[in-house]
Structure 1
Amino acid sequence: MPVPVPRQRNAPVTEVARADAGSGGDLTVLVIENDPGAAFSAPEATDPDGARLRIRNARNLTEAERLLTDDVHCVLVDLSLPSSGDEELAPLKHVLRLAPRHAVLALTTSGDAERAAEAVRAGAQDHLFRDELDGRLLSRAVRYAVERKRADTAQMKLAESRLRAQENARLERGLLPTPLLEGSELRFAARYRPGRSRALLGGDFYDTVRTPDGTVHAMIGDVCGHGPDEAALGVELRIAWRALTFAGLCGDELLSTLQQVLEHERESEEIFATLCSIDIAPDGRRAGLCLAGHPSPLITQGGRASRLLPVESGGPALGLLPRARWPRHQVQLGGAWSLLLYTDGLIEGRSGPGERERLGDDGMLAMINRQLRSGLEGEELLDSAVTEVRALNGGELTDDVAVLLLSRG
């Protein structure tokens, strides 16, 4: 026997049925029904140990909008609701727009099966026939609709997350530098490995360009920190470096201007960046080197063992000291050489699995010289170096790693 439920004028909730045992917690259903003289009624559930199914009644869409609060789990829409337009399913579609996060069920008669199917195609989770309704069917349909809506929402969020990840990847790839070395005899190779999981950009940055006079300029730097803000600042500094280089700035003048850029763009005064900048003369035999708190490049000349370029003094990292100066050191390169510029992520990993000691400059030099003796060069050398550093660390490196190799002869 159906149990009549008094129509609710306000927001209070009335228990009318019990769901199947073990089916979960209480659920609230907002019923929007066309019959103005009778209340929606639901048969008693057969299982007294089930969770409660509670009903709110609305006479029209206006009242439904007022009663549709956050504690409502499902909306049951009578398909015979009057429509102001020509479209039969206009009320249902209005509810779907009004309640995009709620499960929606369509209510009709068994003689209107085609319209019930149309309601599901329009976006309802399921349909119910009024003349076949019983307590078990009602509670099961509501609970299934809620779970189906949750699954659909989770799937949609997953798809959106994947799309955002793809867009971010395309954006980050577009922000990685493209070397401008047309007309130069120098060979270029670079490898970049951000410390952030699933990221393409970190706080490390590098670039290489050739100016109209034939000079090749190369730079590598490291913004302290590993988050997206540091990555964005690294991109800004790289772009500024390229623009200033093409504008003719070099050495102390260039780094002083970059420091101004950093000071204006950083989020706090604690943020700083290290940088190594080198300009190679058109004949390729000499260069000028500036260090701003950054490791000195590694040089290999004439088949001899690699060594760190000896630099008596450099300047502080960008952003640490106002009115700082960065001396430009002259370096003799010779006829055949290679220069390896790197960030400290390459040397701050462990010297071996389980070891507490860092790899450091000496460990890096030994590793690079061993790989050079085995005949590696160019991109193969960089791939091998990054792979071995990771293996020595016993897993992924927590810091960003950028390595740039320029060679001649």
Structure 2
Amino acid sequence: MPDWITTAITAELLRGALDVEHTEHGVLPHRLPARARAQNTDSQLAMAESQPSGVRLVFRTRATAVELETLPTKRAYVGAPPRPDGLYDLVVDGRPAGQGSVFGGSVITIDMAAGTSEVRPGPPGTVRFDGLSGEAKDVEIWLPHNETTELIALRTDAPVEPAASGDRRVWLHHGSSISHGSDAASPTTIWPAFAATLSGVELINLGLAGGALLDPFTARAMRDTPADLISLKIGINLVNHDLMRLRAFGPAVHGFLDTVREGHPDVPLLVVSPILCPIHEDTPGPCFPDFSEIGEGRLRFRTLGDPAESTSGKLTLQVIREELSRIVRQRSAEDPNLHYLDGRELYGEGDAEELPLPDDLHPDAATHRRMGQRFAGLAFGADGVFASD
């Protein structure tokens, strides 16, 4: 057995988190600061922001073996087969070097039909990576994007020190469950993480499943977070929650942008409209899960809206794209660093024929990689708004 050295897990070793909460077990990374969490009353958003999508431990070491002890909180759905354990991605000197899972942990069982949930406490577990080179190297452990993860102990067989931050630009991104990771294969292959890796930037991912709702506290969190590049992917949650009408949507977008610009007046800011989602292109929400095939592990989503209701101000994806394009065009006359990207350039009609959305709402693992590659080219490429000088 290695002669383990235990290193305290502090904010200095974490990237991608906006806050670190000290718990009875260790530390819990958060993707929204305490003030924003205090203003939130939505249990879905509370769960989403505590899931560390894009959050990773980063350190420099000569260790040949690394252990991370955590207490995960996993999800189970009444009537559905068990979900796979979340994955931890190991990256060494920028290259994938292994994967693992932590078994056990607490389980929150969700009854989507009844709208209830129950938590069953469980024990912590450990993911271990060994066989690493004894050379000095930068090590990243990307935490599961879909499991709340309390960090208990980091153990190595050689000393650990914080990795140099370097001169990589910081990209701050906000979006829905699609940006959070939905059905991506692993934490480094959710589309924003994949795009960040391809483009050599540091990601702060505020993709919040079900929570891209133009909340003022999210705008303030973005305003107060240092960043060199910012993107906002707006639309799908507003439609499937049937949250607001067109009259409220435009001013809400302006208000969100105004708040972000208070802290980042000149940063390149890219507004991204929704990717193609056939059930909501011309049909408003609300959207609800269809449980008819849940026993076989298949969940689909259906809209209860009526296309005729869009004439009375209900939002569809087509309506949202037109309004976002108009708003960016209007504002960019005085804000030359504000730009617009039609989300269908990331996933459009041709993609839907080849890689249809499995549940009619969320992209699969292959689509995440495709979207990440396309975003890297469109935004970070030579002609992109995030191109290096």
TM-score (norm: length of structure 2): 0.26
Higher helix share: 1
Q: Which has the higher contact order (CA 8 A, sep 6+)?
A: 2
TM-score (norm: length of structure 1): 0.25
